[in-house]
Amino acid sequence: MHLARFARRRYTPFVTPLEPLPRLSAALAGPELWIKRDDMLGLAAGGNKTRKLEFLVADALAQGADTLITVGAVQSNHCRLTLAAARREGLQCQLVLEERVPGSYREDGSGNNLLYRLLGAERIEVVPAGTDLGAEMQRLADELAEHGRRAYVIPGGGSNALGALGYVACADELLAQTFDMGLRLDRVVVASGSGGTHAGLLAGLHAAHADLPVIGVSVRAERAAQEARILALADEVLAHAGAEVGIPAEAVVVDDTQVGPGYSLPTRAMVEAIALFAKFEGILLDPVYTGKTAAGLIALARSGRFAAGERVLFLHTGGSPALYAYQDVVLPDPRE
Ligand SMILES: *Cc1c(COP(=O)(O)O)cnc(C)c1O
């Protein structure tokens, strides 16, 4: 499998740090925890979408696009980073925002909403949950075409076979780092949403025969549906990258115990996980993705799921700007 065949823009001039979490490990008295800091990736405030956009934006440029169009939830890290990549490349950017929680979009909102305005989206369309998002993006692209412009449409989360190559590249980067450091990892825990991160990582590890199991913590879908989605996408990624074989179904493991009342809706375990990472390691998580993923990691550690001395990597996918839109959720109520 050869990533060098694909055009790629570079938005991070270094490999992201791979570090131990000694204080949190001691506090949990469980496995030896490590973290890979993909929250430190390049573009405005970093996060996992930066890796996917390196391949997607390179393709957009190769096709002569002048505008990126994409879609996300109201507080979308993916929309923020697509916008940042557009600015970086001198492109325009239009966003379709799906109001998964009715009434949740506020034009003057904080967090990523504020950054959309600061980075200067050319157009923001807010649509209700259940809208055909692909059709909505195509409608914007057609309107631009009428004016002689050329749009490049990026699917939600940048999670198609091309975008997921970003996490094949991450798997390669991680394996090179562990080899350099003489570090043996036993397991990876990562967020599983639109799936490009989880599927790309699995594809990359599988292609490298890494024998490093991955647990994807779902932030939205229930287990069977998410496992099916990840398996299909991982196979698509491998086929796209020219690998001979797909991945075995049993390599796809999704934990759906942290979704709570639904996507982006707070849980107590998420609030606790954000507090533990901040207080023990000085690391910021986010309420929608990494807070729930870390809650999954902590619950597994407490339940004795990991063997003694196991080294477990938490892949930090970013998202901390959303913290500022959830102030009343992530700070404990002083009356409690
Ligand atoms: C999008 C996102 C995820 C989930 O990644 P997918 O590839 O969509 O599964 C995880 N963490 C953060 C911070 C994100 O923005």
User: What CATH number does residue 249 fall under?
Assistant: 3.40.50.1100
**pLDDT tens-digit series, residues 131-176:** 999 999 999 999 999 999 999 999 999 999 999 999 999 999 999 9
pTM, entire model:
0.97
> How far is the centre of ligand 1, averaged over its atoms, from the C-alpha of 192 (Å)?
7
Average pLDDT score over the chain: 96
**pLDDT tens-digit series, residues 105-142:** 888 899 999 999 999 999 999 999 999 999 999 999 99
Residue in 76, 194, 218, 264 annotated catalytic: 76
Are 174 and 231 contained in the same domain? Answer: yes
pLDDT score recorded for residue 305: 92
Residue owning the nearest CA to atom 8 of ligand 1 = 194
Are 258 and 191 contained in the same domain? Answer: yes
Please indicate whether residue 316, judged by its CB atom, sits closer than 6 Å to ligand 1: no
pLDDT score recorded for residue 101: 81
pLDDT at 247 over 80: yes
Residue owning the nearest CA to atom 1 of ligand 1 = 157
pLDDT at 335 over 70: no
For residues 202 and 188, what is the distance between their CA atoms, to the nearest angstrom? 10
pLDDT at 333 over 90: no
Please indicate whether residue 318, judged by its CB atom, sits closer than 6 Å to ligand 1: yes
Backbone angles phi, psi at 191, to 5 degrees: -70, 145
Say how many domains are in the chain: 2
Q: How confident is the model at residue 232 (pLDDT cuts 50, 70, 90)?
A: very high
To the nearest 10°, the Cα dihedral for 279, 285, 286, 291? Answer: -80
Determine the length of the chain: 336
**pLDDT tens-digit series, residues 8-30:** 999 999 999 999 999 999 999 88
Are 321 and 208 contained in the same domain? Answer: yes
Are 182 and 223 contained in the same domain? Answer: yes
pLDDT score recorded for residue 308: 85
> How far is the centre of ligand 1, averaged over its atoms, from the C-alpha of 190 (Å)?
9
Closest atom of ligand 1 to 156 CA is 8
Q: Which of 136, 157, 178 represents a domain boundary (last residue)?
A: 157
Closest atom of ligand 1 to 47 CA is 13
Q: Which of 157, 179, 197 represents a domain boundary (last residue)?
A: 157
Enclosing domain of residue 34: 3-47+161-330
Phi-psi sector, 84: left (phi>0), alpha (psi -120 to 50), beta: alpha
Q: What percent of the chain has pLDDT over 70?
A: 99
Q: Which of 157, 177, 193 represents a domain boundary (last residue)?
A: 157
> How far is the centre of ligand 1, averaged over its atoms, from the C-alpha of 145 (Å)?
30
Are 57 and 105 contained in the same domain? Answer: yes
**pLDDT tens-digit series, residues 251-265:** 999 999 999 999 999
Residue owning the nearest CA to atom 15 of ligand 1 = 77
> How far is the centre of ligand 1, averaged over its atoms, from the C-alpha of 317 (Å)?
6
Are 137 and 165 contained in the same domain? Answer: no
Are 58 and 151 contained in the same domain? Answer: yes
pLDDT score recorded for residue 145: 98
Whether 320 is catalytic? no
Are 150 and 166 contained in the same domain? Answer: no
